[in-house]
Chains A and B, each alone.
Chain A
Amino acid sequence: MPVGLLVSLSARNLFRHRRRNAMLLAAIAVAVAGVTVLNSLVRGMQEDMRDAAVGNLTGHVKVLAPGYRDDPGIMHRFLPGEDWKNAVPGDALAGWAARVVVPAVIMSERETRGLQLVGVNPARESISFLADVPVLGERLNGPGDNRILVGRALADQLETDVGYRVVVITRGADGSTREAGFRVAGIFDADGTALEKAYAFTGLHYVQSLLGTGEVTELSLRLRDDAVTDAVVRDLRARLADLRVLSWQELEPQAAAMYALADTAIYIWFLVMMGALIFGLVNTLITAVMERTRELGMLRAVGMQRGAVLVQVVLESALVMAAGVALGLAAGALLTWMLRDGIDLSRWAAGAELARMSSRLVPRLLPGDLALLAAMSLGFGVLASLYPAWRAVKIEPLEAMRR
Chain B
Amino acid sequence: MTDLVVDCRGVSRTYGDGVPVRALDSVDFQVRRGEFVSLSGPSGSGKSTLLNLIGGLDRPTRGEVRVDGELLNALSEPALADLRLHKLGFVFQAYNLIPVLSARENVEFILQLQGVGAAERRRRALEMLEALGLAGLSDRRPGELSGGQQQRVAIARAIVTRPVLLLADEPSANLDSVTTEELLKLLRDLNETQGLTIVTATHDPLVMSYSRRKVKLRDGAVVDDAVVVPV
Contact = CB atoms under 8 A, between A and B. Distances in A.
Contact of A305 (B78, B86, B98, B112): B78
Nearest to A299: B98
Contacts of A302: 84-85, 90, 110, 113, 157
A98 to B, nearest CB: 72
A378 B100 CA distance: 25
B43 to A, nearest CB: 13
A302 B57 CA distance: 10
Interface string A273-314: 000000000000000000000110011111111101000000
Interface residues of B, number: 27
A15, A301, A306 — which one has the most chain B CB atoms within 10 A of its CB? A301
Given A300-B81, A302-B84, A5 B109 contact: yes
A12 B85 contact: no
A4 B78 CA distance: 21
A397 interface: yes
A303 B109 contact: no
Contacts of B115: 2
Contacts of B77: 306
A298 B84 CA distance: 11
Contacts of A295: 96, 98-99
Given A298-B92, A301-B55, A398-B52, A5 B100 contact: no
A16 B82 contact: no
Contact of A398 (B57, B85, B98): B57
B28 interface: no
B52 A303 contact: no
Contacts of A298: 92, 96
Nearest to A4: B112
B112 A398 contact: no
A5 B113 contact: yes
Contacts, number: 62
Classify the secondary structure of A's interface with B.
helix
A16 B101 CA distance: 11
A9 interface: yes
Contacts of B157: 302
A401 interface: yes
Contacts of B99: 16, 295
Contact of A2 (B57, B82, B100, B113): B113
Interface in B79-126: 81-86, 88, 90, 92, 94, 96, 98-101, 109-110, 112-113, 115
A13 B100 contact: yes
B219 interface: no
B101 A303 contact: no
B58 interface: yes
B23 to A, nearest CB: 12
Interface of A: 2, 4-5, 9, 12-13, 15-16, 294-295, 298-306, 308, 397-398, 401
Interface of B: 52, 55, 57-58, 77-78, 81-86, 88, 90, 92, 94, 96, 98-101, 109-110, 112-113, 115, 157
Shortest 6 CB-CB distances between A and B: which pairs?
Answer: A303-B85, A12-B100, A298-B96, A303-B84, A5-B112, A398-B57
5 contacts: A294-B94, A295-B96, A299-B98, A301-B55, A401-B92
